[in-house]
Amino acid sequence: MSSNIPLAEATSNHVMVFDLVKTNAGNGYHPSTGVFIVPKSGIYVFSWSFRNSDRHYHSTELMVNNSVESIIHLHSAAGIWISGTGVAVLHVNKGDDVYVRISALGH
């Protein structure tokens, strides 16, 4: 991401838009919405990272359509930045929407 999400906007179900894209073979990822639309059914590897600071607790979820497929929980100590990375290997179908959102669980 090219910038931090302001705390006031880091609300439940907020889709994280990763606007700095290094690789997008097949143009399935849409950096304006943060959604990857699966171009061809098959097995894919999805990974995402985020960081948290100064006593904040947040969770992010990897979503396929409306189903939570994976989750990361981060809770940082005072004055400390921490980061986490999630990796999921999933079979997805052509046309499925895959995205990362802020979870209602970690707020």
What is the domain partition of the chain in residue ranges? Answer: 7-102
Q: Is the pLDDT of residue 105 over 70?
A: no
Q: Residues 74, 57: contact at Cβ < 8 Å?
A: yes
C-alpha to C-alpha distance for 79 and 47, rounded to whole angstroms: 27
Please tell me the pTM assigned to this model.
Answer: 0.83
How many residues are given for the chain? 107
pLDDT at residue 21 in the model: 85
What the block records as the tokens of 37 is 């639309």
Q: Which amino acid is at 27?
A: N
**pLDDT, tens digit, 9 for 90 and up, residues 40-90:** 999 999 998 887 767 666 788 999 999 999 998 877 777 777 788 899 999
CATH number, domain 7-102: 2.60.120.40
DSSP 8-state class, residue 93: -
**Distance between first and last Cα of the chain:** 21
